[in-house]
Amino acid sequence: MIPSFSAETRLADGVVNIVCGAGPEAGEHLVGHPSVAMTSFTGSTAVGRRVAEIATGTVKRLHLELGGKAPFVVFDDADLEAAVHGAVAGALINSGQDCTAATRAYVQRPLYDTFVAGVADLMGAVRLGDPFDPATDLGPLVSHAQRDRVAAFVERARGYARVVTGGETPGGDLAKGAYYRPTLVTGAAQDSEIVQSEVFGPVLAVLPFDGDDEGIALANDTLYGLAASAWSRDVYRAGRATREIRAGCVWVNDHIPIVSEMPHGGYRASGFGKDMSAYSFEEYTQVKHVMYDNTAVAAKDWHRTVFGDR
């Protein structure tokens, strides 16, 4: 147990405590302990399921912010340049290690080829390097193990899809770090691993669609429901997308900006509960109903349900 930070933060002793240890030992003990009233977990859906399973034993409250596979739906009246820039920025935020990152782009067929070409060109111009260098666009992943995990996703995808750009680790000095080039994948089936599973790296899969019904249906065809975006100049078309796409956050003509004044949280396998905004306080609030009677009357009106006409 690390001592509390009262000297630095002026919090009372015991308000903040940090327990270090691996999930199967320290984490599971905390989640299952009867003295812990609530567990808030941010991480993968697989671990979130385990947290929920353990918490069930003590019927404690949970807040789960889990995985995502955010769709990026581009209708045929969208501003193409804005959509291309938005897709690349949305896919590469935090080197793709973001549960709200754009990972599945669905582009209406009239714009599909031009969109793919534009994204490939822009991804190809992204500069990898030292995150402290202002000239760097994209830094490394969190670890070599995560880089290798991302690379394995892409290598498996080569067997059923086309890697348009990227799909490799850089050479030279960058080879020493956990870098992976921005990667664009096309030609994958909707039910393929690269489309359905959370890669958590700088990888974007792009698929075409025809009618609006199909585009929205494809966006919803996943276990997740954390974030999504719709791109259109038509306010009614965009409005329909925001209503029908099942995600906790749906942006229109942008992807990724999150403001603390608004709630953040998912549907389905992306978990439940909200971070940020006033809504987040509700997750950590236990409502109690207290009622006083100050009439000093022994026999109350409702007692007739027991005593009849007496």
- The structural domain count of the chain equals 2
Confidence class for position 23, pLDDT limits 50, 70, 90: confident
Q: Which structural domain range is residue 46 located in?
A: 6-65+265-283
Prediction pTM value: 0.88
Which among 112, 85, 90, 65 has a CA at the least distance from the CA of 228? 90
Q: What's the residue count for the chain? A: 310
List, for residues 87-105, the tens digit of each pLDDT value: 999 999 999 999 999 999 9
List, for residues 133-173, the tens digit of each pLDDT value: 999 999 999 999 999 999 999 999 999 999 999 999 999 99
Q: Does residue 54 share a domain with residue 192? A: no
Structural domain includes residue 257: no
Structural domain includes residue 302: no
Q: Does residue 219 share a domain with residue 136? A: yes
Structural domain includes residue 15: yes
β-bridge pairing 227-231 and 70-74: parallel
E runs forming strands in the chain: 38-42, 61-65, 70-74, 102-108, 162-165, 183-186, 203-209, 227-231, 249-252, 271-272
Of residues 190 and 280, more confidence is placed in 190
List, for residues 37-92, the tens digit of each pLDDT value: 999 999 899 999 999 999 999 999 999 999 999 999 999 999 999 999 999 999 99
243 residue type, one letter: R
Q: What is the dihedral of CA 16, 17, 23, 29, to 10 degrees?
A: -110
**Residues labelled as active-site residues:** 65, 99
